[in-house]
Amino acid sequence: MRLIIVFLLLSFQSTAQIGWTWTELDTMPFRTSNNAVVEADVNGVPHVFSFGGIDSTKLYSGIHQRSCRYNTQTSQWSSIPDLPDTLGKIAAGASVVDNIIYIMGGYHVLANGNELSSDRVHRYDPETNTYLSDGAPIPVPIDDHVQVVWRDSLIILVTGWSNNGNKPDVQIYNPYTDAWSVGTDVPFTNDYIAFGASGEVIGDTIYYHGGTAGNFSFVARKHLRRGIINPNNPTDIQWDFLGDNPGDANYRSACVTSGNRVFWIGGSGVAYNYNGIAYNGSGGVPALDRILFYSQTGPAWFEGTGTPYAVMDLRGVAQIGSNAWVICGGMMGNQEVVNRAFLLEYDPIVAGIDEAEKSMSLYPNPGNGEIKCDLQKGTCDVYSIDGLFLGSYQIASGMINISDLPNAFYSLKIGEQHYGYVKVE
């Protein structure tokens, strides 16, 4: 038996971060954390926007309405008008549609310690640097929710916390009609309901991950959930559970996508209150120095550890290029609220090469078409030597069966990698 070594990104692989470059930018005008972050254009120039948050005191009285923006052309931050709310706000989400920013939900902390979820939809015009009148109120006030934009048209709010508990609600806002509709709820179980989770959309599929659920202990989760949107009726969403990530759990991280991959940047492995203190009574929580990603085509998890900076308490990220994002504010070492901002750039070519460090065997090779591999399940696309697509074959229990094909040399594509295989009798 001859063994040919090939390369594949395995499920549950952990290694140093790959393909990412971090560059520190100009500091923000003030320290802030749990702030809503998004991008929009001003006279054709991409800008990064930050709304609300909590200041360095980490007290309820330090929750503020201050806002600012970063000009990617001049590389400078400047203050903009405060959020038009009655109190400071944290845990809101921000999205942009047709270059209008929508700052949604969040919560206020009152002097007596009570927390009040918000139903406000603030609308901000980046070209005029002014707030428009508020949009229609959110039907179920919500905070620490997942907020995504589908097809540059609808803003979808998934689960989150509302005043006294987790909610399974999926609330869909149409910015063009200023109207809300009800989407298919996520299942009302602790595997799906969450606050402090984050997610994104690839095509018609929502992915959201992590967060915490429960009543008092609020254990951070490793769960990944998927929602498939019916494009003919976007209120119809089919939810399913994709299992757990490797390594630590995930709470209040930034989330971005590139190609068929979803990335979660930073966050913490322990759920905590707005002051950075763990709900479980263990004290201050550490930020994670990792970029975690899930690939649609594997499916495969990858945990890239050892990022140059560990940042948590992130409520959004600004995409300023096809593979370039800015995170700003948040908490770093010892739960310090910071005014630092970082440009994160991802090179998928470098990542595709380096993430294949760990080898996997396909054997026997040559063989009779019944191929053993280390990947337990997934899909394998088979091509002839001249590049003709011959079909997709399922990987089941570590086996790929192409015995129906004639003796020849084949290219097997698993995920994003191609591997040679020779079939003989």
Tens of pLDDT, residues 45-65: 999 999 999 999 999 999 999
195 pLDDT more than 90: yes
Least confident of 2-11, 39-48, 340-349: 2-11
Give the pLDDT of residue 306.
Answer: 84
**Residue 246 structure tokens:** 């490797």
**One-letter amino acid identity for 314?**
L
365 pLDDT more than 70: yes
More confident residue, 281 or 180: 180
Residue 328's pLDDT band (boundaries 50, 70, 90)? very high
Do the Cβ atoms of 339 and 28 come closer than 8 Å?
yes
| pLDDT digit string, tens, across residues 67-113 | 999 999 999 999 999 999 999 999 999 999 999 999 999 999 999 99
**Average pLDDT estimate for 270-278:** 97
Give the pLDDT of residue 10.
Answer: 30
**Average pLDDT estimate for 222-238:** 97
Average pLDDT, the chain: 90
Residue 323's pLDDT band (boundaries 50, 70, 90)? very high
Q: How far apart are CA 38 and CA 194, in angstroms?
A: 22
**Average pLDDT estimate for 299-309:** 83
Q: How far apart are CA 122 and CA 102, in angstroms?
A: 6
Q: How far apart are CA 285 and CA 296, in angstroms?
A: 31
More confident residue, 376 or 148: 148
Least confident of 186-195, 397-406, 413-422: 413-422
Give the pLDDT of residue 4.
Answer: 32
Place of tokens 């790959």: 18
Give the pLDDT of residue 393.
Answer: 93
Give the pLDDT of residue 298.
Answer: 65
355 pLDDT more than 70: no
**Residue 87 structure tokens:** 């109190």
Residue 379's pLDDT band (boundaries 50, 70, 90)? confident
For residue 393, give Cα distances in angstroms to 179, 318, 399: 44, 38, 10
What percent of the chain has a predicted confidence (pLDDT) above 90? Answer: 76
Sign of the alpha-carbon torsion through 253, 137, 201, 159: positive
More confident residue, 379 or 218: 218
Ramachandran category for residue 196: left, alpha or beta (phi over 0 → left; psi -120 to 50 → alpha):
left
9 pLDDT more than 60: no
Residue 5's pLDDT band (boundaries 50, 70, 90)? very low
Residue 350's pLDDT band (boundaries 50, 70, 90)? low
Give the pLDDT of residue 16.
Answer: 59
Least confident of 89-98, 236-245, 406-415: 406-415
Give the pLDDT of residue 2.
Answer: 26
Q: How far apart are CA 156 and CA 281, in angstroms?
A: 33
Do the Cβ atoms of 88 and 38 come closer than 8 Å?
no
What percent of the chain has a predicted confidence (pLDDT) above 70? Answer: 91
8 pLDDT more than 60: no
Q: What are phi and psi of 241, to 5 degrees?
A: -110, 130
| pLDDT digit string, tens, across residues 164-190 | 999 999 999 999 999 999 999 999 999
SS3 state of residue 354:
helix
**Residue 29 structure tokens:** 């005008």
